[in-house]
């Protein structure tokens, strides 16, 4: 734990980790820009993060990309954001409204809309009350919608993830990732390149209301 904390105990490295929370793979050049540091310094920080298994490096041809090591690292960062947000007790007005409404939490949706989605799934009996698993009814309904649920994975099929800004749960696990993929592929949402912010499209407003009874 001390070694992990030491690897994260640098403002520039935390900027890099937070940037990777959007779920994409970034180049060292892009991360250098977002952290506002020199390329050589970025390379050193990335080596430290890779060695600590916080970040993984993907090679594609002559290009190298970096992303978070796993969803568990993303969950750790999201929890840290929640602790920081609560400890510093900032005014919500200082947080961009768009970020509060909807954002990515690595590979699933977070923010006010995501919390409403979680509450809707519980209320309609699509997931268990504790968010630990899908119900039979939920599996049928989501499959009818075209959301993939049968992939072989070691991840939890469904789990509650504490939202740092709402202080309530949103949907994590494989279901959370599947929902985000569905929303994006069906143009219910649009990701803002380089940011965690997510925009709900007019089609998304209609779909969320029709299928999940969510009013935005």
- Cα–Cα distance for residue pair 183/201, rounded to 1 Å: 10
- Cα–Cα distance for residue pair 23/27, rounded to 1 Å: 13
User: What pLDDT score was predicted for residue 209?
Assistant: 95
- Cα–Cα distance for residue pair 26/17, rounded to 1 Å: 11
User: What pLDDT score was predicted for residue 81?
Assistant: 81
| Pick from 102, 96, 85: nearest CA to 22 | 102
Question: Domains in the chain, please, with CATH?
Answer: 2-69 (1.10.10.10), 74-212 (no CATH)
Angle at 80 between CA 77 and CA 86, to 5 degrees: 145
- Cα–Cα distance for residue pair 46/89, rounded to 1 Å: 31
The burial of 178, by beta-carbon neighbours within 10 Å (0-12 exposed, 13-18 middle, 19 or more buried), is given as buried
User: What pLDDT score was predicted for residue 151?
Assistant: 64
- Paired tokens of 160: 């509650």
The residue behind tokens 């947000």 is 85
Query: Which residues does residue 126 pair with via DSSP β-bridges, in sequence order?
Result: none
| Pick from 46, 1, 47: nearest CA to 20 | 46
User: What pLDDT score was predicted for residue 171?
Assistant: 94
Helices 11-19 and 28-35: angle between axes, nearest 10 degrees: 120
Residue 105: how many CB atoms within 10 A of its CB? 27
User: What pLDDT score was predicted for residue 75?
Assistant: 83
Please state the separation of Cα 69 from the chain's center in Å.
13
Per-residue pLDDT of the chain in tens (216 residues, 90 and over written 9): 999 999 999 999 999 998 898 888 899 999 999 899 999 999 999 999 999 999 999 988 888 999 999 888 988 898 888 777 666 655 555 667 888 899 998 889 999 999 999 999 999 999 999 999 999 999 999 999 999 887 677 778 898 988 888 888 999 989 999 999 999 999 999 988 767 889 999 999 999 999 999 987
Read off the pTM.
0.74
User: What pLDDT score was predicted for residue 122?
Assistant: 96
Residue 180: how many CB atoms within 10 A of its CB? 24
């Amino acid at each position: 734990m001390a070694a992990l904390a030491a690897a994260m105990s640098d403002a520039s490295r935390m900027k890099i980790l937070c940037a990777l929370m959007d779920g994409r793979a970034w180049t060292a050049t892009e991360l250098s820009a977002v952290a506002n540091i020199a390329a050589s310094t970025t390379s050193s920080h990335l080596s430290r993060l890779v060695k600590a298994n916080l970040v993984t490096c993907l090679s594609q041809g002559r290009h190298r990309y970096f992303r978070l090591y796993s969803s568990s690292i993303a969950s750790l960062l999201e929890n840290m954001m929640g602790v920081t947000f609560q400890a510093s007790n900032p005014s919500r007005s200082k947080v961009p409204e768009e970020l509060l409404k909807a954002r990515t939490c690595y590979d699933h949706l977070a923010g006010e809309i995501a919390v409403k989605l979680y509450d809707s799934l519980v209320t309609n009996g699509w997931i268990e009350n504790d968010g630990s698993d899908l119900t039979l009814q939920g599996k049928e309904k989501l499959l009818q919608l075209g959301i993939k649920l049968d992939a072989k994975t070691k991840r939890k099929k469904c789990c509650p993830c504490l939202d740092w800004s709402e202080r309530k749960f949103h949907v994590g696990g494989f279901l959370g990732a599947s929902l985000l993929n569905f929303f994006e592929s069906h143009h219910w949402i649009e990701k803002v390149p380089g940011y965690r912010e997510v925009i709900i499209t007019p089609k998304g407003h209609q779909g969320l209301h029709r299928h999940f009874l969510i009013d935005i």
